[in-house]
Structure 1
């Protein structure tokens, strides 16, 4: 009995530092955001309870809907490619270059954008996308294509940010998929080859089903990161031109730290939290149904 109690105390001691950090930097801020979302609060004055006024005002705010639309477009454009491209690259590397030095070099090169700071990534791609003498426009000139103002037009600003986000995150998800593919027993593939299965059939009937838990993780991370997109839009376009590339989190930032409407910003943050939780619940249902269907 004493031994079990001692083990329980040791377990609590090990978990306590992480729990304190989670409490201070996640749970308490979430509770405070919910509390202030019902307040008229601008930091300089005492919070004043106004009920659901912030939420009513938010759903009648065109800026809210523009930032929501941009965020949804961002998620729709980035998440599918952040799943498909790493999976294809990982399958190719695992099959063709698993034990070659070139494979390790390629994995390292693809992973470099992941460890680079957002400031570095944004600055480099601003040079590439520059309207005047930008690298990309110079390449287009070789093919007699007129230069494009990638970051200065409403049609291309958000698309350009999505391209950079995909380029940056592919390496992270590739490493996850590569590890998953390498952990699949070779016996499955050898048995499939004996039965006459093609490589495509092996990929669709063996690799994809066995990678479903990893795909769930990749989709979850991609969705969360997509809805929380802030750094690249802020660094590359500042949300412009106009509001064409402003994201939901950038809207919260502008409302809280430029307009000092903290209560209204907290209401936006609560809606974002509900949206992310809701999307992840739908994702759980989708993957659960796929599993049961099998």
Structure 2
């Protein structure tokens, strides 16, 4: 119990201090001055904040499905393949990006996508296609961040879905085969319903991680071009460590914390109902 109390304090003290700062005007160079709800009132009309919120929602809406459906399909195929070594090899290869540093992943992809000499533009040049400004175009920059993020996490969710597929009784598939159901029908009527508890967990985790995205955006685009990939956490960084507006940054952090708490509570309720 004492150790739990210590851990609770370690977690609570930064949160409570951040909450306090969100009600102050604090520029690091001087002491915090009580500001009331002014920081939150400013957020309500701050176009940059809402742009960051919109970017975060767009990122989440597209990243979560990619991180759910691709691993789920792969898990179903790999769990049923008769070539077991191939299944193990594919899972191992796809898990490598999971354990790799986000800074490393972002740096490698940034160089691969950069300018005329990047890997992808070099390939396009060989087939006569003009180079694409992947990181300098607002639309392409968001697409790239979404794809790279999904690619990095696919291996993690694949492990969860793979274990879930193995837990589905084989008798169900055998009975479905006897009744004439093909692989596609088995996937939709047996695999997906059987993976529902795992799917709920993965969706909640993926959503929470998506709202917390920072490292990859910071390394690949820095939130640009023109704020097109600035997410909520990126906005916190810019307000707090570039503009030194700690009160405003803390207010955004508390809003983000509220969103994450809601998703975490939803996760617990849904998992409880599933159990």
Q: Shared fold by TM > 0.5?
A: yes
Alignment of 1:169-180 (within 5 A): 169-180=153-164
Q: What does residue 6 of structure 2 align with?
A: 20
Q: For residue 261 of structure 1, what is the aligned residue in structure 2? A: 245
2:129 is aligned to 145
Uncovered stretches (5+) of structure 1, i.e. residues with no partner: 1-11
* Aligned counterpart, 1:107: 91
Query: How do residues 3-152 of structure 1 correspond to structure 2 at under 5 angstroms?
Result: 12=1, 16-17=2-3, 20-24=6-10, 26-97=11-82, 100-152=84-136
CA 22–159 in structure 1, closer or farther in 2 if over 3 Å, else same: farther
Give the equivalent residue in structure 2 for 1:206. 190
Aligned residue-pair number = 274
Q: CA deviation at 1:283?
A: 7.0
TM-score w.r.t. the length of structure 2 is 0.92
Tell me how far apart the structure 2 counterparts of residues 214 and 242 of structure 1 sit (CA, whole Å): 38
How far 1:47 moved relative to its partner?
2.1
Kept in 1, the 8 Å contact 2:164–2:195? The answer is yes
User: Do the aligned partners of residues 129 and 22 (structure 1) sit closer, same or farther apart at CA in structure 2, a change above 3 Å counting?
Assistant: farther
SS at match of 1:156: helix
Which structure is larger by alpha-carbon Rg, 1 or 2?
1
* C-alpha separation in 1, matches of 2:211 and 2:45: 21
**TM-score, normalised to structure 1's length?**
0.86
Q: Structure 1: which 4+ aligned runs deviate by more than 4 Å?
A: 279-289
Runs of 5+ consecutive residues of structure 2 not aligned to the other structure:
none
Q: Which digits, 9 at most, give the CA deviation of each residue in 1:91-135, with x for residues without a partner?
A: 1100115x6211111110011000111121111101210112111
Q: CA deviation at 1:245?
A: 1.2
Deviations 1:54-83 (A, max 9, x none): 001112212111111111111111111110
Match of 1:217 in 2: 201
